[in-house]
Amino acid sequence: MSGCERLEKCPIVNNSKNGAASDFEKIKEKYCYNNYSKCARYMVLTSVGGDFVPNDLLPEQVEEAKEIIAEAQEWM
């Protein structure tokens, strides 16, 4: 199955301490395997770099990602 090249390294979907495994399977199906370009983490990573991706940013937090990107671009 193709998908996000960061899937194996993503701390959100690979950290069992974050919640129920079934929840993360749903996230993987929605973002990691199909629509990774809509993942908030991926958006920040590809726009301004991995150093700007907060450890706790969830894939569905797109508005937060847009704010992070805008702030980071002001500093670049």
DSSP assignment of 43-59: HHHHHH-GGGS-TT--T
Neighbours of 58 (CB within 10 A): 17
Domain ranges of the chain: 7-75
Model pLDDT for residues 51-63, shown as the tens digit of each residue: 999 999 999 999 9
CA distance 63 to 34: 20
- Counting DSSP H helices and E strands in the chain, the numbers are 3, 0
| pTM for this prediction | 0.87
Model pLDDT for residues 5-61, shown as the tens digit of each residue: 998 899 888 775 656 667 788 888 999 998 899 999 999 999 999 999 999 999 999
